[in-house]
Structure 1
Amino acid sequence: MATQRTGNYSCKKRLLLAHVRRKFHEAIGSQPSKYSHALTGEKYCNLLFKEYKKLASLDAKERQKQRTLWIKPIVEEFFSWASNLCVLPNSKIGKAIEYALNYKEGLYTFLEDGRLEPSTIVQNERLGTCNG
C-alpha cells in the first residue's frame, strides 16, 4: 500500500467506496437494462454498504475481524467480476470499471482497520488514511 505525507503525518492512500458506487450509478443511464454491468456494479457497492452497517455496533477490533470474514469475500468477488468484464474502455461503464480496478488497493484499506468507514472522510483522516 502506497503511503504519502499530508501535513505532519504519513497516511495510507484509500478510496471511498461511495466514489466507486457513483461511477457505476452514472453509467446506469447508458445501460438501462436490468441486467446491465453498471447496475451489477452499483448493486455490489450497495451490498458492501449494507454489510458495513450490520457491523456498526461492534468495537473496532471485532469489526475488523468480521469484515475479513464477511466483507472481504464480497470485495474479492466484485474485483473478480470487474476484472473479467469485456467493455468499451471509453464508455461510462468502461470508465467505472477502470476507476475501480485502478484503485483496487485503496479500496482494500478499510479491511485493515476496523476504525475506518467506507465513506467518512474526516474520521479516516484522523486515523491516518488519505482519500485518493
Structure 2
Amino acid sequence: GSYAEDFLKGFNGILQTDGYTGYQKAPCHAHALCWAHARRYFIEAIPPDLPKEDLLGSICKKAIERINELFAIDKGLAGLTKEEREEQRLQLEKEKLEAYFAWLQDIELNVLPKSKLGKAVQYSLSHKEALQAFLKSGNAALSNNICERAIRNFTIGRKNWLFSDSPKGAKASAAV
C-alpha cells in the first residue's frame, strides 16, 4: 500500500482497481472497483461438475446474469458524453444495483461464508461503495480490464525475467 500511496501522491482522480487492499492508502477522489472481478468470483464458485440444469437456477448464475446486465447497459452508453453517461447510469443502473445488493444481503445468511460462493457474495457486499463508484462519474468504467490487458506483458514477462540472472542475460532478453 505504501508504494501505491507514494506513486499516486497528489492524484485526485478516480482510481479504478481490483480489490487489493493496498490501494486503500492511495489518495484519490473516488476508488472504483472492477465488476469483472466481482463476476469472476461467482464464475469460480460454480462447481466444475455441476450439471447444466442445476446451474440454471443457481445463485451463481443469477449473480452473473445481473452483473452481465450492468455491462450490457453500460455498453450502450459508450458513445455518450461524461454527463449524459452519469445521468443514464443513474436512471438505468442505480435501481439494478440496489436490487443486486439487497438480493445478496437476503441470501448471505443461506451460504457458507468460507465457501467460494460465500466469498463471492462477501466480496460484493464488502466492496459495495467502491463497486457503485462508477455511478458518480461518467469517466469511470465498470471494469479495469483495459488496464489489466495493458500490463499483461509485464506480468507474464516478470516470470520470464527471473531467468535473467546476469546483466548480459538481461540485455539479451531485452533485445529479444
Q: TM-score, normalised by structure 1?
A: 0.83
Distance 1:104 1:31, change over 3 A: farther
Q: What amino acid does structure 2 have at the position aligned with 1:95?
A: K
What's the counterpart of residue 13 of structure 1?
A: 31
One-letter amino acid matched to 1:13: H
Corresponding residue to 2:133 among 84, 106, 109: 109
Which deviates more, 84-93 or 27-36?
27-36
The aligned residue for residue 127 of structure 1 is none
Shift, 1:29, TM fit = 2.0
**Structure ranking higher on relative contact order (CA contacts 8 Å, 6+ apart):** 1
Instruction: Give unmatched runs, 5+ long, in structure 1.
Output: 123-132
CA offsets per residue over residues 36-63 of structure 1, 9 Å max, x none? 1111111111111001001111111001
Query: 1:129 matched to which residue of 2?
Result: none
Q: 1:97 aligns with which of 97, 118, 121?
A: 121
- Cα RMSD, aligned residues only: 1.8
Give the stretch that moved more between structures: 9-18 or 63-72.
9-18
- 1:41 equivalent in structure 2: 63
Tell me the TM-score normalized by structure 2. 0.63
Which whole-Å CA distance do the structure 2 matches of 1:31 and 1:52 have between them? 33
Hey, which of these two has a bigger chunk of helix by percent? Answer: 2
Identity of aligned residues (%): 37
- Secondary structure of 1:29 counterpart: coil
Determine whether 1:53 maps to 2:55.
Answer: no
**For the structure 1 residues 50 and 62, does the alpha-carbon distance in structure 2 shift closer, same or farther, using more than 3 Å as the test?**
same
Q: 1:88 aligns with which of 107, 112, 124?
A: 112
* Larger gyration radius, structure 1 or structure 2: 2
Matching residue of 2:46: 28
Runs of 4+ off more than 6 Å: none
Aligned length: 119
